[in-house]
A = this chain, B = another copy of it.
């Protein structure tokens, strides 16, 4: 039996590797349109920053590794131009056809420049592939730009702003909506703005960019522009083959990551997934979800029966050393989803004062009618990842605030205060419920 995987980054290679473990005799071919596979795309901002010195450091495995160690054929420069499911084959740009019995679509996403005039100018960049990052790094090194505009205040936008600022550039971030980090959360946006401004990065919200001029974007002078918005799932190949997308615009699958075509799976940034808090499909493309859905798709494509239950929307981003972490729904998002949200926000020390504990801010959101925890955010220089993960676990478990407030969390002065900020926030929230 032959498994073909379209896409050779996180989801595609997770699927291929998992399928191989499930079935040692399967023929597995991975078709990647780009020149490299298996790189950590989330590390790209740190390559731009200069912390990662060689782009190669971000490459986890080579095609040779997959061939020799996993018996998986990985082909680069192999762009699929069409899928014919009735004939069970994909056609490559070269004209060649590849037959499959099972197919995993892991075509990822792209940064859509459509609608922005001047997006093809030489001082305009995206930060989506290893090549993008290499081009940007070379431009900074060779052209010594002094002022950058980052279009988009999502994760990649603020990480890139941080990286560019650390290279000495003046940086302005332009965000179309009223809020950054793709979350309707004015308090989170205010905290991000404060941290950016502390490090002299300007943030302007509610600015729509229509054109990039050679020396300015939306009246902000610059000699470097980075497009970090318009993230779109690559679904065209799938749609032309008769595969359905959901309301999010990404490929719809069941909880086995199978599409409406039997034997065809989708995973990673091209697919939507179930949001465990809302119970509805969501499109929150992230490396972690790409790996997990890829594994499930690969296991099932190889004849297994694994489930991907869904996500709760956990993310963290570092901005000049401060962690901004969220999970579930913000108060505003919860309202839009039909909950009756109640929120509590507290400031506390992440550790006792005599261990130089820094400030941390925790916000928890509950649904008034059920008492269930439905979201939260943690902002701080230390412990933000660990604390948001506790909230995420509680969301997976559909925990009520009352139960969350009694969690038996670790305590010792070098690590945490005796009342963890999470528990202080939960107690505060209980009073509001």
Q: A271-290 toward B: CB 8 Å interface, digit per residue (1/0)? A: 00000100000000011110
Stretch at the interface among A107-115, A202-210, A383-391: A383-391
**A172 CB-CB contact with B under 8 Å:** no
Are A352 and B415 CB-contacts (below 8 A) given A386-B383, A408-B289?
no
Task: Tell me the smallest distance from the CB of A256 to a CB of chain B, in Å.
Answer: 13
CA distance A327 to B394 in the complex (A): 16
Q: Which of A373-409 contact B (CB under 8 A)?
A: 383-390, 392-394, 396-397, 399, 403-404, 406-409
Q: Would you call B396 and A327 a contact (CB within 8 A)?
A: no
- Set of chain B residues within 8 Å of A409, measured between Cβ atoms: 288, 314, 385, 389, 392
- Set of chain B residues within 8 Å of A414, measured between Cβ atoms: 318, 321, 323
- Set of chain B residues within 8 Å of A136, measured between Cβ atoms: none
The 9 closest A-B pairs by CB, nearest first: A386-B386, A397-B397, A318-B414, A316-B410, A385-B415, A393-B393, A311-B408, A288-B411, A314-B408
- Set of chain B residues within 8 Å of A30, measured between Cβ atoms: none
Q: How large is the interface on A (under 10, 10 to 19, 20 to 34, 35 or more residues)?
A: 35 or more
Q: Would you call A410 and B397 a contact (CB within 8 A)?
A: no
Q: Which of A89-122 contact B (CB under 8 A)?
A: none
A residues adjacent to B (C-beta < 8 A) = 10, 40, 42-43, 46, 51-52, 57, 155, 276, 286-289, 291-292, 308-318, 321, 323, 325, 327, 352-355, 383-390, 392-394, 396-397, 399, 403-404, 406-416, 418-420
Task: Tell me the smallest distance from the CB of A130 to a CB of chain B, in Å.
Answer: 14
CA distance A314 to B416 in the complex (A): 13
Q: Would you call B410 and A40 a contact (CB within 8 A)?
A: no
The one of B308, B406, B415 in contact with A308, judged by C-beta atoms closer than 8 angstroms, is: B406
Closest to A52 in B: B354
- Set of chain B residues within 8 Å of A385, measured between Cβ atoms: 383, 386, 409-410, 412, 415-416
- Set of chain B residues within 8 Å of A390, measured between Cβ atoms: 386, 389-390, 392-393
Copies in the complex: 2
Closest to A431 in B: B21
Closest to A325 in B: B410
CA distance A93 to B313 in the complex (A): 59
CA distance A327 to B313 in the complex (A): 26
Q: Would you call A408 and B52 a contact (CB within 8 A)?
A: no
The one of B288, B327, B394 in contact with A393, judged by C-beta atoms closer than 8 angstroms, is: B394
Closest to A352 in B: B43
- Set of chain B residues within 8 Å of A40, measured between Cβ atoms: 352, 413, 418
Can you report 27 residue pairs joining A to B where beta carbons are below 8 Å apart?
A40-B352, A42-B411, A42-B418, A43-B413, A288-B408, A288-B411, A291-B418, A308-B406, A309-B403, A310-B408, A313-B408, A315-B410, A316-B410, A316-B411, A316-B412, A316-B415, A317-B412, A323-B415, A327-B410, A384-B415, A385-B386, A385-B415, A385-B416, A386-B386, A388-B410, A396-B408, A397-B399
Q: Would you call A327 and B389 a contact (CB within 8 A)?
A: no
CA distance A89 to B224 in the complex (A): 79
- Which residue, of A386, A388, A404, has the highest number of chain B Cβ atoms within 10 A? A386
- Which residue, of A52, A288, A291, has the highest number of chain B Cβ atoms within 10 A? A288
- Which residue, of A308, A415, A419, has the highest number of chain B Cβ atoms within 10 A? A415
CA distance A407 to B420 in the complex (A): 22
Q: Would you call B309 and A418 a contact (CB within 8 A)?
A: no
CA distance A411 to B314 in the complex (A): 8
Are A354 and B51 CB-contacts (below 8 A) given A406-B309, A418-B40?
yes
Q: Would you call B408 and A397 a contact (CB within 8 A)?
A: no
Task: Tell me the smallest distance from the CB of A61 to a CB of chain B, in Å.
Answer: 14
- Set of chain B residues within 8 Å of A317, measured between Cβ atoms: 412
